[in-house]
Chains A and B, each alone.
Chain A
């Protein structure tokens, strides 16, 4: 399912204060229909507060919000019909069973119990278990299944994979991809850069209540100052001890590997390979590593707000 130009979420100049602390300081962003939009930022950046304002759980102190054509803070009953939410921290009564939870939520939406969702998220076999007996991964999947009970057009996921093991994360990632393929718009807050890179069409990095940068993961990574790394190991170590060349700056030696930093990757690789050839040596291993989203994130967080 492709991303439409039509914006289904619009945030303009959102401000939220807690006493003297401004948690969200005039942010604006929009999310297209069918898009997976990631909200990244360090702890206390204002991600969850932003999401809670959109979810109708908190009143904003300024700015406007629109989700699927309705004001989340004024039209709650309509909001609940078009929005599914998986909160960062939430729970269900300990004695509640997955089937009962689904039946309960569907009843309040005026729908028959969506047991198909429990099957889709691998929870059918857990139907005799009470909530307290489910694993963390099963609980997360149950909350996601419940968030989808009303067939929402927008889903907000606040750190959905926090605390999950590798298998649990992979299962949830598959579920999120399935949702994207079915045309659901997803707003995802996460600390996990790999998750954001692999799932999101666009991301925004929030720092101290403001949006520092918005774009696709590739655009954001490319907009950084970090240079590409070239890592080479040769049979006779002809490049070691390393030195700067015209196009590459020598960083360090690790075992038999020399590591260079460069901006013009092609020129630097050609130059280093030329030296290897001139010394009649042979390349055993050559790796080119582009700066990661994580490095760009750290650059932004440690370097302050940049656009």
Chain B
């Protein structure tokens, strides 16, 4: 004989458990924190803090200056041996794509989170290495730690030490829409077409 109250208890336990799993995985769509953030940004574009940045030419600017144009942003540190490389390659491909689509503006900003080591000279060397020229591709760093913290918070950037003096960080490529909102976070090793589609897709 099935015990009395068995079915209600089983249903209750299963519903609570499956509900919690669904909530944690955004309806069984993601299992990682990165995936959850990408989904959240695509669903609800985020407004960004106004942070002063300095680029490789020593020019001061802020992401808000780009209003009216979408802009791709990634986070780097100039000594990075790992994930910054594919992100740089991705930016390169976007520039190449733009060469054949002169009607499109492709604007790129790489922001360093390593304020201690990435002064203007380091930014310039890194820019030269990747062939980045301002203002189309700016290699920049926040002027102040508080600015960096605000950006970290808004972009959901997580940086951990790699154990040998460098860093490991989540390497998303972000797309800021023409209204200055953070509209997409994309995997850096996604197909180049994904970036082009994102760029053309968010334009009103």
Binding partners A and B? no
A contact residues vs B (CB 8 Å cutoff): none
B contact residues vs A (CB 8 Å cutoff): none
